C-alpha cells in the first residue's frame, strides 16, 4: 500500500532539538509542517544534559555577576571552531545568542542563574549555570575573558535534556505541526534538481496492542541504549521486528525537506571508515544516529565534510579535587593541562598518546576527592566514579613503584611529578599551564593511578558522538554539492550538518547549534519558492 500525502510545505526528518526548532520556525512563518521520526521523537537531545551554550550577556550571566559580550564570546569560540564555519557565521551565532535563549524561553524552556563554583563536567541540582568548556583553561583564557556560558534547563537529575525537548515538542504541536513517529525515510523525491518530498515507511497508531507494544519497547530501548547497551539493543530489536511487519509505505510531497536526523556514532562501518582512532568510543545518542540522514543528503548530490571529527569525553572531575592530579601517557609525560574540558583532553590523548593515559594523585588529593564525592556529583557521575574509589585504581608506596605497576615510563613519570611539585613549591606557573587554584603537590604516599585510557568498558566507558556531516550554505542551511552549488529544496541541521561544533565540542555547544541551524533551515525552508535566496557561497 502506497498512500500519497500532500498539503505540506515543509517536511522535517528527525524530531530532536534541531528538528523541533526548524518545525517551530517554519510553522511560525505560516508553513504547513510535517515532522517524521524513526522513534518517538527526542533523539540525542532528549537524552542529553540539556545544556545550551549561550553568552554575549545573558540575563543569567548578569545575575551571576559576570559580564560578557558577543565579541568576547567570539574570541573564545574562534579558538574552538578553528574555521569549520567562517567568521561571519560564528559572529552571527554569538551576536544572536541572547535572543536565541529568550526564544527558547518563549517556547517553554527555563533557565536559572545559580552558578556552580567548582570545576565540574555537569552540575548538581543546586546549579544551573557553569563554565561548561575551556573558558578558564590555557590557552583559551589568553584570548578571551572567562565567562560561564553553560545554561542548563531547569529540571532534576538528568531530566534537563528531556524537559527542554518536551517544551520544544509541545510548542511545535501547539503551532499545528503534524508529527508521525515510527517513520523512516527511504528516499528523497527529486525532479529537475529540486527535492519535493519524501518516500517513507510508517507505522500508524491504530490503537492496537501490537502498536502499543512497539512504542513501549522503542521508548525503553532508546532510554537504556546508552546506560545498559545489551538490554537497550535487545528491546530495540524486538521493536524492530514489530515495525518491519506493520510499517506501510507513504509518499509525502512538500516544497522543502529539512534533514535533522542526527549523526552516525551508531554506524560502526562509517566510524571505522572515517574515524578509526575513535572506534572504542561508547556511542552516545540513539540507534537512530546511524548516518541515515547524511546518506539521504548524499543520495541526491549533497557533499560531506569533517566526518573524521568525533568527540570523546574523559573528564577529570567531578570530584573537582581529581583535577589537581596530573594526567600522563605511557611515556610518563603530561598529556595536557588537566583543567581542560574533558573532550579536549581526550582528543590530545587520542591523537598524541595513542588513547592511553593515567591520572596520578597522592593520598591528600585522593582523600579530598573522596570527601567531595557525594556533594559534587549527580547519580550518573556516582555510578562511574564509585568503582574508581572502590577499587578500580592502582596504588603504590613510591612514584617509581606506581609507574612499574601501571606500565608507564618510570623516569618519565618521576620527572613529570618532580617538575609539577617544584613549580608549586616555587610559586611558579605549572609546566603544563594548569590554573594555580587546581595545582596541588603530589607528595604524600601512597600514590594513586586511575586508568583514563580510551577502551571498551561496561562501567568506565568513554562516551562520544560524531561532529561532521553534510555541508550547508551558511546563510540558508541548504545542502551544498561538491561542485559548490546547492541542492534546492533540501536543508540540513543539527548533527546531520557541519556546524558550529564540528571541530571541537564543549558542553552545550551542540544543542546551541541545533537551535541556530534548525531555526536557520526552518526560516528559509518556509519562504515561498521564487523568493530571492541569499547565499554565502
What are the pLDDT digits (tens) for 115-127?
A: 999 999 999 999 9
pLDDT at 530: 46
**Cα–Cα dist 306/313, whole Å:** 18
Across the chain, what does the average pLDDT equal?
A: 94
Classify residue 381 by burial, with Cβ atoms within 10 Å: 0-12, 13-18, 19+: buried
- At residue 255, does pLDDT exceed 90? yes
Q: Is the pLDDT of residue 416 over 50?
A: yes
Q: What is the pLDDT of residue 120?
A: 95
**2-48+163-311+463-502+516-525 CATH choice from 3.50.50.60, 3.40.50.300, 3.30.70.260, 2.60.40.1080:** 3.50.50.60
Distance CA 311, CA 505 (A): 6
Strands 51-53 and 282-283: unpaired
- Centroid of chain to Cα 220: 21
pTM, two decimal places:
0.94
pLDDT value for 226: 85
Domain ranges of the chain: 2-48+163-311+463-502+516-525, 314-451
R_g of the chain, CA atoms, integer Å: 24
Q: Which tens digits make up the pLDDT trace of 433-481?
A: 999 999 999 999 999 999 999 877 666 678 899 999 999 999 999 999 9
Calpha distance 392→70 (Å, rounded): 44
Which pLDDT score, from 0 to 100, does residue 41 have?
Answer: 96
DSSP letter at 285 equals S
pLDDT for 533 equals 43
Residue among 453, 471, 450 at smallest CA distance from 462: 453
Contact 167, 107 (CB under 8 A): yes
Region 233-253: what's the mean pLDDT? 95
C-alpha to C-alpha distances, 230 to 83, 94, 146, 227, 237, nearest whole angstrom: 39, 41, 41, 9, 11
Give the residues across from 256 on adjacent strands. 10
Cell numbers at 98, concatenated: 541572547
What are the pLDDT digits (tens) for 39-70?
Answer: 999 999 999 999 999 999 999 999 999 999 99
Task: Give the Cα separation of 22 and 24 in Å (integer).
Answer: 6
User: Is pLDDT of 263 > 90?
Assistant: yes
Q: Which fold is adopted by the domain 314-451?
A: Flavocytochrome C3; Chain A, domain 1 (3.90.700)
Rounded CA separation 48/511 (Å):
9
Amino acid at each position: 500500500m502506497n498512500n500519497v500525502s500532500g498539503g505540506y510545505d515543509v517536511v522535517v526528518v528527525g524530531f530532536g532539538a534541531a528538528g523541533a526548532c526548524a518545525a517551530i520556525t517554519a510553522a511560525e512563518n505560516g508553513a504547513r509542517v510535517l515532522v517524521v521520526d524513526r522513534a518517538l521523537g527526542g533523539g540525542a537531545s532528549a537524552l542529553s544534559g540539556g545544556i545550551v551554550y549561550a553568552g554575549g550577556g545573558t540575563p543569567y550571566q548578569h545575575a551571576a555577576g559576570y559580564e560578557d559580550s558577543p565579541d568576547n564570546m567570539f574570541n573564545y569560540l574562534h579558538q574552538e571552531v578553528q574555521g569549520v564555519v567562517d567568521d561571519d557565521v560564528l559572529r552571527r551565532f554569538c551576536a544572536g545568542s541572547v535572543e536565541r535563549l529568550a526564544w527558547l524561553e518563549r517556547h517553554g524552556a527555563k533557565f536559572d542563574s545559580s552558578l556552580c563554583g567548582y570545576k565540574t563536567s555537569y552540575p548538581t541540582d543546586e546549579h544551573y549555570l557553569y563554565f561548561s568548556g575551556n573558558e578558564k583553561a590555557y590557552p583559551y583564557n589568553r584570548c578571551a575573558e572567562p565567562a560561564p556560558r553553560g545554561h542548563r534547563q531547569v529540571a532534576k537529575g538528568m531530566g534537563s535534556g528531556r524537559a527542554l525537548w518536551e517544551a520544544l515538542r509541545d510548542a511545535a504541536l501547539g503551532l499545528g505541526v503534524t508529527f508521525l513517529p515510527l517513520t523512516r525515510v527511504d528516499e528523497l523525491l527529486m525532479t529537475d534538481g529540486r527535492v519535493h518530498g519524501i518516500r517513507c515507511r510508517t507505522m500508524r497508531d491504530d490503537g492496537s496492542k501490537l502498536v502499543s507494544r512497539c512504542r513501549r519497547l522503542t521508548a525503553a530501548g532508546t532510554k537504556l541504549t546508552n546506560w545498559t547497551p545489551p538490554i537497550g539493543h535487545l528491546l530495540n530489536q524486538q521493536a524492530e521486528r514489530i515495525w518491519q511487519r506493520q510499517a506501510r509505505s507513504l509518499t509525502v510531497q512538500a516544497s522543502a525537506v529539512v534533514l535533522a536526523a542526527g549523526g552516525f556514532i551508531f554506524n560502526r562501518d562509517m566510524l571505522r571508515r572515517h574515524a578509526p582512532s575513535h572506534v572504542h568510543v561508547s556511542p552516545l545518542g540513539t540507534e537512530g544516529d546511524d548516518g541515515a540522514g547524511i546518506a539521504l543528503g548524499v543520495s541526491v548530490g549533497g557533499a560531506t565534510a569533517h566526518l573524521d571529527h568525533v568527540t570523546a569525553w574523559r573528564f577529570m572531575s567531578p570530584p573537582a579535587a581529581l583535577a589537581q592530579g596530573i594526567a600522563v601517557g605511557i611515556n610518563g609525560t603530561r598529556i595536557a593541562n588537566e583543567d581542560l574540558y574533558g573532550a579536549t583532553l581526550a582528543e590530545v590523548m587520542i591523537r598524541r598518546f595513542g588513547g592511553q593515559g593515567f591520572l596520578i594523585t597522592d593520598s591528600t588529593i585522593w582523600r579530598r576527592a573522596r570527601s567531595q564525592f557525594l556533594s559534587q556529583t549527580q547519580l550518573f557521575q556516582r555510578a562511574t566514579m564509585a568503582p574508581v574509589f572502590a577499587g578500580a585504581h592502582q596504588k603504590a608506596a613510591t612514584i617509581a613503584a606506581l609507574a612499574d605497576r601501571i606500565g608507564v615510563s618510570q623516569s618519565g613519570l618521576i620527572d613529570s611529578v618532580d617538575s609539577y611539585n617544584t613549580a608549586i613549591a616555587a610559586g611558579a606557573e605549572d609546566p603544563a599551564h594548569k590554573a594555580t587554584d587546581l595545582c596541588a603537590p603530589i607528595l604524600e604516599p601512597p600514590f594513586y593511578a586511575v586508568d583514563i585510557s580510551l577502551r571498551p568498558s561496561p562501567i568506565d566507558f568513554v562516551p562520544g558522538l560524531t561532529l561532521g556531516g553534510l555541508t550547508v550554505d551558511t546563510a540558508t542551511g541548504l545542502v551544498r554539492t561538491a561542485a559548490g552549488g546547492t541542492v534546492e529544496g533540501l536543508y540540513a541541521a543539527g548533527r546531520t550538518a557541519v556546524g558550529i561544533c564540528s571541530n571541537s565540542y564543549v558542553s552545550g555547544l551542540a544543542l546551541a547549534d541545533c537551535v541556530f541551524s534548525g531555526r536557520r533551515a526552518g526560516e528559509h525552508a518556509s519562504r515561498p519558492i521564487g523568493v530571492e535566496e541569499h547565499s554565502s557561497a
